[in-house]
Amino acid sequence: MIEQKVIDLIAEQLGMEDKSNITAETTFDGLGMDSLDKAEITMKLEDLYNITIDDNIRFRTIGDAVNYIQTNKEYVLNGSADWLKKKINPRFSLF
């Protein structure tokens, strides 16, 4: 599911109608992406999955990006509320 969304996003960014040749093994450089394309896709992925991708991270393949998203999405889903639980006074309710 994540892989297909990443492929769809890249194809849209590059104006590609045929996505059949984009796989997990496809390299970003092999798609002819320039630095602006990569930056825009990174921002879209961050927004879509509510994650932060460090500026120092460079994905070589589509699969690298998918693995990073899966790992960090799991962290957000499983651990993001822990800090909130510690800060909320148990005498008060959010609802």
| pLDDT tens profile 69-95 | 998 886 655 544 444 444 444 443 333
pTM of the predicted protein model: 0.74
Integer angstrom CA distances of residue 7 from 3, 27, 28, 64, 73 = 6, 12, 11, 12, 17
Q: What are phi and psi of 80, to 5 degrees?
A: -70, -25
Q: Which of 8, 18, 29, 34 is catalytic?
A: 34
pLDDT of 75 reads 60
For this structure, is 29 an active site residue? no
pLDDT of 77 reads 52
